Structure 1
Amino acid sequence: MSDHSLPDEIISEILSPALKVSDEIFSDTSEVSPFAKYSESTSAYLLVCKSWLRVSTPLLYNVIILRSKAQAKALSLALAGNKALGTFIKKLRVEGGYGAPMLTILRSSPNISDLFVSLEIYSSDNSSGLCKGLPLLNPTRLILWELSYRSLENKMVSQLLDALAKSISRWDRLTVFDCPFVRTTDRAQKVISPLIKSKRLHALAIPRVSASLWVYDTFKECPLKVIHIKEPLEPYERTHYLPRFKSEPKLMALLKFTERTTRALDELEPRQPESALELPLIAPSLNPSFTPLAGAPEDVHNKVWARVLHFAMSVPELANGVKSKDVPRRLPLLLVSKTFHRLGLSSYYAHVVLRRSAALTKFAAVLSSDPSIGPHVRSLVAEYWDYIDQSWDSEDESSIDELGFDFTTDADLRSDTMLAVLSRTTGLVRFGGRENNPADMSSETEKSISWDAFEAMVQRSGSTLRECHVRMANRQSASSSATVFDSFTALRTLAWDSRTAFRVANVPANGLRNLEELRITSTSSTFMVVLSGMKLQSLRCLVLSGDDSTNPGLETLLKAHGPKLTDLNLSEDNLDALGAKIFELCPNLRSLSILGHDAPDVNYFDPPSTFSSLVKIILDVPDYWRSRNLSKDEVVKWGRFFDGFEPENFPEVREITAHSCTWPTRERDIAKSPWVRWAEMLLERNINLLDTAGTKWRPRLKVK
């Protein structure tokens, strides 16, 4: 029978992208190691078959990353058992001391060309093996790492610095040095002095531009070809340092600056969509006098250009949730010609974000002057803080703010203005929420509307709205009629934040007939009765949040619709009120989320019988409560919850997400973290614990 196996060279090409560690990541000196990720080990590829093991082994050992004592010990045993493995190692990154096994590793790895050594070594660690093994190497590049704002001073670090100084004087191939020191100190001089004496350095990397002057003066005798500044320049650094470099032309010729990434640039200053990065490369026309669609009929001409402008103005991207500030500015397209202005207005106003209360007045003026725009508006979001409207100034305003109409910020006028706007927008698909997070029910920026404005929206857009976020001022007059909800024939998501009272008579049984998700921040008991009187056949998700007391009528609502729910999100107050009755009222829940500041009472997770439908539990906390260290009392409460949680009651639960948790990234912190302890306890019960980023804990190799 013929052999259909692939040649080793082909397998190597297939596996290389998965096993390769880029030099950029290997040499990364960020505060948090890029290897502090809890994902499947790449060594799993070696277990697929013998041919993959044979081909992958050299690829896997080419770059070695050591982040724990257990990893160092395991590697030393592997190298001691197979001498050939050490010859594959070309790059070695050591993020700690790791004791005696380091000597075996360094002795067995004669071909190391790139060495990364961390100076962040605690007194409880042991750097003796590393110190003894350094003279056995002869690398071409040395990368040292420590925190710029904190240098550890202890016996282990001192021994390592002394060993580095002695070894550097012997390393006759060392030509590249990644320097962690931002200023000259006695500690820095220990390492720098032998480098200066050797006069072999060709390339030098420094953390930031402020270190360039003293570094240049210190290493003047070395045949430097480049000084790489790793951190991108801040605006004040450009102003302060670049003029000084002009007086040092030799230094300026050596400096290599790091370009700020697009993501980092966005965080620093508004993005410039007109830049070359944003615009497609289009070849110049071979006929400069060519006029597109010159001979086409006018209706074809209009349809084609309207479609072109639809995409040029990023309408599909905005409809899919891309923030308006992350797409190119659209106003310049309207200013190209009268034709573009006429054909592009409908696309320009398809998705409107009001970033100031003044923009509401401007938008109302636009709709009043050109009523044809209203039917083309698909989403309307108001994101502003009323009390800072007068002082807010930004060049990156919403599309409405770019038009320059006169405005006023009078509150009563805004109420009337919103009524006028909603009366003229007849095709809304989404109203309210936040531009970048529609599910966010934060009341700070969700603008309140009047009952009249709400009724106007229902009358004009009730048949098209699919997502509606309502924060409504309490009505001063008599109770409102619930028949208004019968007009929402397409609504899928309703977020409600109002204590408006309703008449409980004549509740439309088929009201909100297509509603799938209901989010309630504040409410009235009559609104809960109204909801209970509707069929809500499509309802699957219920979110009850807010800072007020327990939602009135909650149990009545759950008795009516609990069996339909698959997702339930409760505040801790609601959980306290219902307790374990949740599982009787909602027998088909698959996901249960609880928002609170502390661990929930584990007694609430004691259903009367085995609850087999639940697969996921989310223990949520407010944003400002996340990623913080737990107090002793909180550790006790969380420990009581995890210790008392009985998986037998929920046999299908496979994950618990705790938004209070952020996985530690250093071996020392991992050893002390209670979250790690609880995660490994849950793993024994076949349950994964996920942190606030949704990353599940993976057990690390342990020393036996």
Structure 2
Amino acid sequence: MVSILPEELLKEVFRIALHVPDHLFYDVSLESPFSFVEHSKSGLLLVCKRWLRGATPVFYETLILRSNAQVMSLCNALAAHRQFACLVKRLRLEGRVPEPLGEMAKRMTSLQDVCLAFNYTGVSAFKFSGFTKFLRALNPQRAAFVRPIGIHYSKSANVNKKICQAVSAWTNLTSLMLPYSGGGWSIWGETPLPDLLLDAVKALRHPLVLTIPLVDAYSLNAITKRLEELDALPRNVTIIFSMPDIHLVDLKVITSNIYLAQRNVLFRDTRNTYADRSLTDLSNTWDNNTGLWTNPLSNASPEVQSRIWEATIRAAMIGNKSSFWPNSWFQCNYLDHRTSSSLLHTSKFFSGIVLAVLAERLEIFTELTLQAALTVLQSRPQLFKRIRHVSLNIQSASAEAIQLISAASELRSLRLVLQAADGASSRAIYDAISLSAPTLQHLFVTHYSRPQRWKVRAVDAYDPDMPPACDLDGGDVLGSLDALTRLHWIAPHIAFRTAATDTTLSSISEISTVSGCDTFLHWLVGCRLTQLVKLKLLEGVGLSPRQATLDAEHGRGLTTFLETHGAKLKELHLGSGASFSLVQLNLCCSVTTLKFGNIVEPNILANAELTCLKVLIVEWLNHLLSPPFMALLNRLYQGLYPVLEELRVENSQGFWPSNESGTDSWQVVASEKLKARGVTLKDTNGHVWRSRLDIDNVLRRSGRVSGRRM
């Protein structure tokens, strides 16, 4: 099949497979879009010799170099095959620039696009001489300088000046992107790079397209004021302001800017479309009566347009953030109040949609905020039916909180954190929760018996000598929630007197609690829990230090629960302070995913009889290179857990600590040893760790350089 494909079809296959879109090539985000890819681009070169000859020219057109090892491999390949240098048309650098790359850049005569997406200042190990030699050898048509957000440098003046000297010598330059920052303008040190780049643009004296990335339109006035102060741009320069969701910005913010009215300015929406629009185009799509951006190609009815705008505003305010249900008992999802508050004052049409969207997710942390939210909802009673998710972190079960929960007839998720509550208010708020039984699917309850001081953990929340918070029966509350699928319960002082039945919590699939809730765990023994697959014991055992010493009582409810339901579990998450024994772990014999918050007792993992375990997640909050963790790795190398497929290492910072020694780092050693027994090593985000050895092996087999991350 490979040998009979015509050349024309092969070329189309290669161009589609190796194509890198412009929005990825010029990406300005902190995490590179090329950090982790599912398939190796160099695999096309390994099919056969015919594919190697046909794919090599297309392969070299766009090169993404992310490390010194890749740059050196490229230099070696170009030294052995000099004709390949003429094939390079686009080059994105995310690592350092070694000395040899400056020499090789002189041979890249077809180079048109350059994107420098790395920290080129402030690093002691950086060889700046190679970077300046590389810049002087270039003469691209389009160039982009990308800098991470919010990083300041104190010794960047000399670097910035030399960069701009090289840029001013680029006679073919037609498009330039300034460095990006979270505030919309990258200004560091006494000689900021954007100012110097503008001076370089002024020295070029030929038509140029200047792209300035912005976070939103609010930084537009500050940017234009800076441009006006510098007075560095000639009239033949076209300015493109790229920002997300330009259609959600009031046109007055743009048209009121005098500087923009005197210049050739375009606006690019980076979230929805990359088409550039001028001020005239924007004015033609603005309806002064409704205060809306209109679409002349759309003939949809007002109801359909309202739903479209509602979905658009919801995406703008919430975006791709985490779900409402928190990963741990203290996390919560915040809305973009800056965007929502600006839209509320745009028009009546917009304010109605914004209030409807905001009503879907209510996150309240103070009594004052609760009263304000309830006032707005009472002024528009129809908004109560829009409430889907409520998060209440308040001091006590006030009348306002009870009224809010009772009126939310379509409530789906409830997160309730009570710092202290008396018996009457507690009963009232749990009665309100029971009214939401037909629709409530997710319930998150953390109920303290006394007020908690700041930074006091849940480990101090329970004292066995204290009486119950009220005469409330937890069995009555949870027994009525038939639609519940996820339950989080930390309320040790609430007793469970009513016995569970076979139908109680029949739809529950996930339970999270602490081992101190013995009465709750004992009550769950009477439930069938036919759909239960996941158990989470969260950080902090929920017991006072004195109660934790009572071994006879401590953990009895958990053991009884696991004896009844442990064989059903497929996922088990243990927090950093969760008390768990080897006997209890062996009761979960069918677990396929196990997450440990801390390896205090490595022997528990080493001796557990988990024959079905496929995914092991270690959430390490301190230093990874500790004796318990290294002991676990050694046992995994020796064949612990025969069907294990994945080891994921996480920490609170979201990244792995590593040294600069390349193949000597523990990640490389671990990935090589684990790969030998069929186990994949992953990081916090679930991305596969690919060592430099993996890349070198592919390069060695193909005899060619790979310009992309494997």
Q: TM-score, normalised by structure 2?
A: 0.65
Aligned to 2:283: none
Q: Which residue of 2 aligns with 1:570?
A: 574
Note if contact 2:506-2:528 (Cα within 8 Å) is conserved in structure 1. yes
1: CA distance, partners of 2:82 / 2:420: 64
| Contact 1:80-1:108 at 8 Å conserved across structures | no
* 1:96 and 1:121 in contact (8 A); partners too: no
Match for residue 488 of structure 2 among 472, 483, 495: 495
Equivalent position amino acid for 2:414 in 1: G
Instruction: Quote how far apart the aligned CAs of 1:565 are.
Output: 1.0
CA deviation profile, 1:345-397 (whole Å, cap 9, x unmatched): xx999968575533786699799x99xx99xx69754334547xxxxxxxxxx
Tell me by how many angstroms 1:569 deviates: 1.7
Deviates more, 1:129-138 or 1:664-673: 664-673
- Residue 299 of structure 2 is matched in structure 1 by 283
- Correspondence 1:160-171 to 2 at 5 A: 165=165, 169=169
Is the counterpart of residue 535 in structure 1 residue 528 in structure 2?
yes
Spell out, residue by residue over 1:655-678, the C-alpha distance to the aligned partner (whole angstroms, 9 max, x if none).
Answer: 233331644799959789765665
Q: Give the secondary-structure state (helix, strand or coil) at the position aligned to 1:110.
A: coil
Secondary structure of 1:526's match?
helix
Q: Distance in 1 between matches of 2:662 and 2:411?
A: 48
Runs of 5+ consecutive residues of structure 2 not aligned to the other structure: 180-185, 214-222, 274-285, 316-321, 325-332, 450-467, 549-553, 701-710
For residues 187-236 of structure 1, the C-alpha deviation after alignment (integer angstroms, 9 at most, x for no partner) is 9999888876664563445675465246544x65xx8432455678999x
Q: Match for 2:528: what amino acid?
A: K
Q: CA deviation at 1:89?
A: 0.9
Tell me, in whole angstroms, the C-alpha distance in 2 between the residues paired with 1:430 and 1:4.
Answer: 58
> What amino acid does structure 1 have at the position aligned with 2:109?
P
How far apart are residue 544 of structure 1 and its match?
Answer: 2.1
Offset at 1:587?
0.5
- Structure 2 counterpart of 1:212, which letter? L
Following TM superposition, by how much is the alpha carbon of 1:567 offset from its aligned partner in structure 2, in angstroms? 1.2
In 1: Cα distance, 2:41 partner to 2:202 partner:
40
Instruction: Give the Å deviation of 1:84.
Output: 3.5
Matched, 1:382 2:386: no
1:586 pairs with 566, 585, 588, which one?
A: 588
Describe how 1:518-533 pairs up with structure 2 within 5 A: 518-521=511-514, 524-533=517-526
Distance change >3 Å, CA 81–CA 557, structure 1 → 2: same
1:300 is matched with which residue?
Answer: none
Partner Cα separation in structure 2 for residue 657 and residue 445 of structure 1:
38
- Say which of 530, 533, 538 aligns to 1:545: 538
Counterpart of 1:396? none
Distance 2:402 2:194 in 1: 68
Q: What secondary structure sits across from 1:606 in the alignment?
A: helix
Partner of 2:601: 601
Letter in 2 for 1:692: T
- Rg larger in structure: 1
1:454 to 427, 430, 450: 430
Contact 2:650–2:656 (Cα < 8 Å) also in 1: no
Cα distance in 2 for partners of 1:442, 1:645 equals 40
| Per-residue deviation, 1:137 | 4.8
Output the CA distance in 1 between the equivalents of 2:522 and 2:485: 20
State the match for 2:370 in structure 1. Answer: 357
SS in structure 2 of the partner of residue 64 of structure 1: strand
Task: Output the CA distance in 1 between the equivalents of 2:677 and 2:66.
Answer: 27
The question of whether the paired residues in 1 share the 8 Å contact of 2:245 and 2:271 is answered with no
1:21–1:63 Cα contact (<8 Å) kept: yes
2 CA distance for matches of 1:561 and 1:505? 20
Deviations 1:503-528 (A, max 9, x none): 66755354333332222258642222
- Structure 2 CA distance, aligned partners of 1:230 and 1:349? 27
- The alpha carbon displacement at 1:415 in A equals 6.6
Residue 43 of structure 1 aligns to a residue in which SS? helix
| Amino acid of the structure 1 residue aligned with 2:81 | N
- Report the residue type matching 1:78 in the other structure: A
- Distance, in Å, in 2 between the alignment partners of 1:32 and 1:419 is 40
Q: Does 1:226 align with 2:208?
A: no
Alpha carbons of 1:454 and 1:31: their partners in 2 closer, same or farther (altered >3 Å)? closer
Q: Which amino acid aligns with 1:593?
A: K
Q: How has the CA–CA distance of structure 1 residues 36 and 639 changed in structure 2, closer, same or farther, with 3 Å as cutoff?
A: same
Q: Does 1:693 align with 2:697?
A: no
Aligned CA RMSD, in angstroms, stands at 5.8
Per-residue deviation, residues 240-292 of structure 1 (Å, max 9, x unmatched): 9998964x98xx415556657579xxxxxxxx99875698964289xxxxxx9
The answer to whether the 8 A contact 1:363-1:421 is kept is no
Cα contact 1:67–1:667 (8 A) shared by 2: no
Provide the rounded CA distance (Å) in 1 between the counterparts of 2:488 and 2:127.
Answer: 57
Measure, in 1, the Cα distance between the counterparts of 2:82 and 2:586: 63
- Once the two structures are overlaid, the 10-residue window that deviates more, 65-74 or 181-190, is 181-190
Q: CA deviation at 1:451?
A: 3.5
- Equivalences, count: 599
| 1:94 counterpart residue number | 93
**Secondary structure at the counterpart of residue 299 of structure 2:** coil
Q: CA deviation at 1:21?
A: 2.3
Letter in 1 for 2:691: P
State the alpha-carbon separation in 2 of the partners of residues 540 and 90 from structure 1: 52
* Alpha-carbon separation, structure 2, partners of 1:282 and 1:77: 55
Query: Matched residues in 2 for 1:232 and 1:506: separation?
Result: 54
Instruction: Map 1:25-44; keep pairs closer than 5 Å.
Output: 25-28=24-27, 33-37=32-36, 39-44=38-43
Query: How far does residue 56 in structure 1 lie from its aligned partner after superposition?
Result: 3.2
Give the equivalent residue in structure 2 for 1:657.
648
* Greater RCO (CA < 8 Å, at least 6 residues apart): 2
Preserved CA contact (<8 Å) 1:569 1:593: yes
Query: Which one-letter code corresponds to 1:173 in the other structure?
Result: N
- Give, as a single letter, the amino acid of the residue that structure 2 aligns with 1:413: A
2:414 aligned with 1:432: yes
Contact 1:657 1:689 in 2 (8 A): yes
Judge conservation of contact 2:394–2:417 (CA < 8 Å) in 1: no
Seen in structure 2, the aligned counterparts of structure 1 residues 17 and 667 have a Cα distance that, compared at 3 Å, is: farther
Residue 75 of structure 1, CA deviation = 1.6
Aligned to 2:509: 516
Give the aligned partner of residue 554 of structure 1.
Answer: 558
Q: Residue 140 in 1 paired to residue 148 in 2?
A: no
The 3 A distance-change label for structure 1 pair 56 and 455 is: same
- Against the structure 1 CA distance between its residues 137 and 591, is the aligned structure 2 distance closer, same or farther, given a 3 Å change threshold? closer
Rate the CA distance shift 1:256–1:601 in 2: closer, same or farther, 3 A: farther
How far apart in 1 are the matches of 2:619 and 2:28?
33
Aligned 8 A contact 1:594 1:618 in 2: yes
2:132–2:166 Cα contact (<8 Å) kept:
no
Q: Deviations over 1:34-55 (max 9, x none)?
A: 5444654322343345565444
Corresponding position of 1:202: 208
Aligned equivalents of 2:309, 2:95: Cα separation in 1: 52
Matched, 1:62 2:61: yes
Residue identity opposite 1:690 in structure 2: K
CA contact (8 A) 1:430 1:467 kept: yes
For 2:658 and 2:595, locate their aligned partners in 1 and report how far apart those are by CA, in whole Å. 30
Distance 2:656 2:374 in 1: 49
Deviation at 1:88, TM superposition (A): 1.6
Question: Match for residue 295 of structure 1?
Answer: none
Q: d(CA) in 2 for partners of 1:531 and 1:17?
A: 55
Contact 1:602 1:645 in 2 (8 A): no
**Given residue 153 of structure 2, which amino acid in structure 1 is its aligned partner?**
R
**Counterpart contact for 1:86–1:108, Cα < 8 Å:** yes
For 1:336-375, what aligned pairs fall within 5 Å after superposition?
A: 353=362, 356-358=369-371
Instruction: List runs of 5+ in structure 1 lacking aligned partners.
Output: 264-271, 286-291, 293-304, 342-346, 388-409, 434-440
Sequence identity (%): 22
| Helix, strand or coil at the partner of 2:64 | strand
- In structure 1, C-alpha distance between the alignment counterparts of 2:124 and 2:665, rounded to whole Å: 19
The 3 A distance-change label for structure 1 pair 73 and 505 is: closer
Higher mean displacement: 89-98 or 354-363: 354-363
Residue pairs, 1:675-694, within 5 angstroms: 678-679=670-671, 682-694=674-686
2:421–2:469 Cα contact (<8 Å) kept? no
